[in-house]
Structure 1
Amino acid sequence: MIYLDYQATTPLAPEARDAMLQWLDGPDGTAFGNPHSPHRMGRMAAAAVDLARERVAALFPPNGQVIFTSGATEAINLAMRGCPGKGAISVSAIEHAAVLDTAHAIGKAHELNVAKDGQCNVKQDIPSNTKLVCVMQVNNEIGVIQPTVEFHRKAKEAGALYLCDAVQAYGKMPLAGADMIAVSAHKIHGPKGIGALWVRNGIELEPQQTGGGQEANLRSGTLSPALCAGFGAAAMVAKERMEDDAAHVEALWHRARELFADWELNGSAEARWHGNLNIRRKGLDVARLMSDCRDVMFSAGSACASGSGRPSHVLQAIGLGAKKAKSSIRLGFGRYTSMEQLELAAEKLINAASQQG
């Protein structure tokens, strides 16, 4: 099989796997301590969590704290539901469902429109009653990099806080300035089941679950040293390899653009993370293409929306009608994708698409 769905999840890095194994069994079978216990085994586990936190924090801006969560969805919910004040929440029209659905559930949501190139329109105003602005750094479906600097400034001018979903940016590029940033380990070759919310110093959120208050009294629950260690190792490797990974992705991007030259690109080609190729072909039956190319792992949209039968809200937000949206596919590649794999996958996809007429 050829895996081209890096926006959905990424292969586990061997360094992350090794770090996790140390805390799943350990050399003497004693690496199962609760990191919140005061005895020796607990302190050993706590030390592993502290080291992981340092490694994860190294990819964030300074002057903030890292709160471990079960993933980016929990981090986003903590930020949005725990945000103080009674004002409205302004969200871009192309946010992940974790942001959009949470905003609508809270109520008083205001939607920020998006240009045809996939960037949130910086000319629009933030309503004066806004308490929180949510604009992601890199869109998960089309890979377009958002004007986060401008929206952070607009949020400040409106007296609001700014939350950035940086799931697709973390470990790949410097993170944008924000008041809160949500990330997920499994998008940077770490384990599933763990993410983090970075909170700027001085911001006080309301806890959304009660209990032991293990994470700075903001998030209760016993942490998994194994998941934390895996996340920390993945973050450390991502920091060390950021330039090399970006260069590899850039080479894959240019080759993919050559191979799919006859397909239409969705979203900007320039203001984009080039590990995301979202393209369309007139009249393409994506379900049939997936059936015909079962050994190529790719997406018809974001993984969270796949199978819903609904056109992508992101593609609709940039002006594509239902037919064009439903004739689009997303190819995601990264660190462990070889040029040979990309070329073979492209051959299979293009041949299968041509058989549709």
Structure 2
Amino acid sequence: MTKHYFDHAATTPMHPDVAKAMLEVMLGPGGNSSSMHAFGRAAKLHLNRSRDIISAAIGCKPGELLFTSGGTESDNAAIIGAARAQRKRGRTHLITSAGEHHAVLHTCEWLAKEEGFTLTVLPVDSVGCTSPETVQAAITPETALISIMHGNNEVGTIQPIEEIGRMAKAAGVIFHVDAVQTLSWFDYRLNELPIDLMSFSSHKINGPQGVGALYIASGTPLEPLQHGGSQERKRRAGTENIAGIVGFAAAVDICVNERKNKQPFMDKLRKRWIELLHEHAGIPVLVNGSGEDYLPHIVNVSFIGVDTETMLMNLDMEGIAAASGSACTSGALERSHVLRAMELSEERIQSAVRFSFGLGNTLEELEEAAQKIGLIVRRIRNNY
């Protein structure tokens, strides 16, 4: 049976060149980058070279880049670290949106519950966008931090982060952006943007799992979450994952070089997939999210009248990998909090499936997969 992997928003397959770069490190001599001997210096060289590659790709200084274990840690380090630093300045109010990843939402909620911060969770509109006007209205003299993602991981909607960032800057508020889903698609020049903190993850761009980064603009107050050693400029204690970081840098390098060709092709896949679903499903298929400002690799659709869980199980049996939403919650069989925040009808929420594309996907396989979906829908509707 032919397999179709349409869940790249959850994790991407590792690029062969990334695996090769990591293998060279893993099979080479050991070395702790904090050690003074030749083996340690060799590890440090790998670390510094990787930091230079990634910082150049996103337009920041090498010293402004902190390596982490992934997007969730980057979000936690940014939000908790900045909130605690701002509390010392008398600012204890946090702003985020109802459409954020749980790594942001749950962290903000935890700070409100356990550390006494006040929290404003802004609504999103029917396509999942956060209005800059609602952000502006929520800012107070006590606001410490605003956290708004760049591209939504469930519906793909792009947020107006530059406009929100200018508002935050004018009010002296730290602005954090979760860019986990967007690194492959945007040419960031962070030294030119009104953004203080930005989170990234390697495994969303065909790099290894367990590695990420946090951009920290020079001068941004931030308290470290981990203590023990002086690694990462005393901002994150612990021995660095050298092989993983080298793989991350290789993935970023490939990402930058291939972006101009990859982006239009992914958009072509997305548009063709929507056409094919309309042709083959035989039932109303509604696209959830923005029709104008969206990530090219994500499409969230509702198969009206077909339950999400039933559809996902049948897709899996036919060799098609898709999701109900964030990979961090799909296993819990929870309905999407993003679609609920968008105030979609219950029938759309209960029948929504996210497809996401990337390395290895082709137009030809979309044709085959769409035909399978037509068979699945008929099988479910006829109860056999």
* TM-score bracket, shorter-length normalisation: over 0.9
Identify the range of structure 1 (178-187 vs 302-311) with the bigger mean alpha-carbon deviation: 302-311
Aligned counterpart, 1:136:
149
Aligned counterpart, 1:93:
98
**Residue 189 (1) aligns with residue 206 (2):** yes
In the TM superposition, what is the alpha-carbon distance from 1:117 to its structure 2 partner? 1.8
* Distance in 2, Cα, partners of 1:306 & 1:322: 18
Aligned counterpart, 1:117:
127
Kept in 2, the 8 Å contact 1:60–1:198? The answer is no
Question: Structure 1 segments of 4 or more deviating over 6 A?
Answer: none
* Distance in 1, Cα, partners of 2:360 & 2:230: 38
In the TM superposition, what is the alpha-carbon distance from 1:336 to its structure 2 partner? 2.0
* Distance in 2, Cα, partners of 1:52 & 1:298: 32
Structural RMSD (CA): 1.4
Q: Which amino acid aligns with 2:375?
A: N
Kept in 2, the 8 Å contact 1:249–1:335? The answer is no
* Distance in 2, Cα, partners of 1:49 & 1:200: 20
* Pick aligned residue for 2:42 from 35, 41, 44: 44
In the TM superposition, what is the alpha-carbon distance from 1:59 to its structure 2 partner? 2.8
In the TM superposition, what is the alpha-carbon distance from 1:307 to its structure 2 partner? 3.0
**Residue 318 (1) aligns with residue 318 (2):** no
Kept in 2, the 8 Å contact 1:126–1:155? The answer is no
Aligned counterpart, 1:12:
14
Spell out the pairing of 1:1-357 with structure 2 (5 A cutoff). Answer: 1-26=3-28, 30=29, 32-63=30-61, 65-83=64-82, 84-86=85-87, 87-107=92-112, 108-124=118-134, 125-128=137-140, 129-175=142-188, 177=193, 178-261=195-278, 262-294=284-316, 295-357=319-381
Kept in 1, the 8 Å contact 2:31–2:40? The answer is yes
In the TM superposition, what is the alpha-carbon distance from 1:351 to its structure 2 partner? 2.0
* Distance in 1, Cα, partners of 2:19 & 2:250: 9
In the TM superposition, what is the alpha-carbon distance from 1:89 to its structure 2 partner? 1.0
Kept in 2, the 8 Å contact 1:8–1:302? The answer is yes
In the TM superposition, what is the alpha-carbon distance from 1:126 to its structure 2 partner? 2.7
Q: Which amino acid aligns with 1:85?
A: Q
Kept in 2, the 8 Å contact 1:167–1:184? The answer is yes
How many residue pairs match? The answer is: 353
Q: What secondary structure is seen at the aligned counterpart in 2 of 1:79?
A: helix
| Bigger fraction of residues in helix | 2
Q: Which amino acid aligns with 1:53?
A: R
Kept in 1, the 8 Å contact 2:324–2:335? The answer is no
* Distance in 2, Cα, partners of 1:309 & 1:189: 26
Q: What secondary structure is seen at the aligned counterpart in 2 of 1:20?
A: helix
In the TM superposition, what is the alpha-carbon distance from 1:347 to its structure 2 partner? 1.7
Kept in 1, the 8 Å contact 2:13–2:359? The answer is no
* Distance in 2, Cα, partners of 1:185 & 1:307: 21
Aligned counterpart, 2:281:
none
List gaps (5 residues or longer) in structure 1.
none
Q: Deviation per CA, 1:163-196: give whole Å up to 9, x if none.
A: 0000000122123731100000000000001100
Q: Deviation per CA, 1:1-46: give whole Å up to 9, x if none.
A: 21000100001011110110011113xxx2x211111111111111
Q: What secondary structure is seen at the aligned counterpart in 1 of 2:73?
A: helix
Cα distance change, pair 126–174 in 1 and its aligned pair in 2 (3 A):
farther
Q: What secondary structure is seen at the aligned counterpart in 2 of 1:109?
A: strand
Identify the range of structure 1 (272-281 vs 333-342) with the bigger mean alpha-carbon deviation: 333-342
Kept in 2, the 8 Å contact 1:59–1:171? The answer is no
Q: Deviation per CA, 1:74-131: give whole Å up to 9, x if none.
A: 1111111111212211001111000000001011211111111211022211331211
* Distance in 1, Cα, partners of 2:333 & 2:244: 34
Q: What secondary structure is seen at the aligned counterpart in 2 of 1:140?
A: coil
Q: Deviation per CA, 1:212-247: give whole Å up to 9, x if none.
A: 020111001001211011000000000000111102
